[in-house]
Amino acid sequence: MHTWRRAAAAVTVATAVVVPLAVSASASGPAPTANLQRDLDSIVSAGLPSAQTEIRDGRSVWRAGSGTVKAGGSRPVDPTGAFRAGSVTKTFVATVIMQLVAEHRLRLDDPIDRWLPGLLPDEGKIKVRELLNHTSGLYNLTDALPLNPPIDFLPLRWKTWTTNGLVKFAIAHGSVFEPGTAYHYSDTDYLVLGLLINRVTGRSYSQEISDRILRPLGLRHTEMPGTDPHIPGSHAHGYLPDGKGG
């Protein structure tokens, strides 16, 4: 069964990300302005354990960072450390959907009810393209999660939800608008697309992403971790504010 972790924050990307307290550049081009380092240092000075960025212009790659792997620690962030890609995963999901359209296995104007009957209470109104561009009107499930303050989510951080369960959870909150009439960013849209990929191909969306995108492009340090909450290798630790300034 698919899980929310796989649908909403599934791709772990290990790329060169941070050089603490310094700016690095490839040999093919000069380093960017020192303002970049200054800005990252100011973010850390404001209270965050670390900040990092990467700039590419098609020829050169510049990476800079500030801070440490752990709050209060002394070990600088690894420039080749991994991180959760989060909603960048949606780009991978959308690419697989568009490939299936190009293969004539799916149409952008197909109603979701054709492939996943009974999943959405929309009488076949919501189409594939409306999930892709966030015009389906489906309620964004993360809006109902205890995230304000973010620390309220900690008791649920090890919980695994099924995709079907999360879609039902979102549907219970009703639609935001009629499909195709407005725009509303919704993680629910891409949960449904993940289920759609599975129905059309008979394989999980994570398998399709790996075979269609990650391997052909040689993204050897990008993976679909599924329900594994750990990030392999070196990485900066993430934190949630406690709502009290801590």
Active site residues: 87
Within the chain, what is the greatest distance between any pair of CA atoms? Answer: 58
How many angstroms separate the CA atoms of 115 and 59, rounded? 43
Q: CB-based burial of residue 93 (10 Å sphere; 0-12 exposed, 13-18 middle, 19+ buried)? A: buried
3-state secondary structure string across 200-245: HHCCCHHHHHHHHHHCCCCCCCEECCCCCCCCCCCECCCCCCCCCC
Q: Which two tokens stand for residue 206?
A: 């994570």
Instruction: Give every CB contact of residue 50 below 8 A, 6+ residues apart in sequence.
Output: 18, 20, 44, 65, 66, 67, 68, 69, 77, 236
- How far is residue 164's CA from residue 188's CA, in Å, rounded to a whole number? 10
The CA-to-CA distance between both ends of the chain, in Å, stands at 37
**What single-letter amino acid sits at 99?**
Q
CA distance 163 to 174: 17
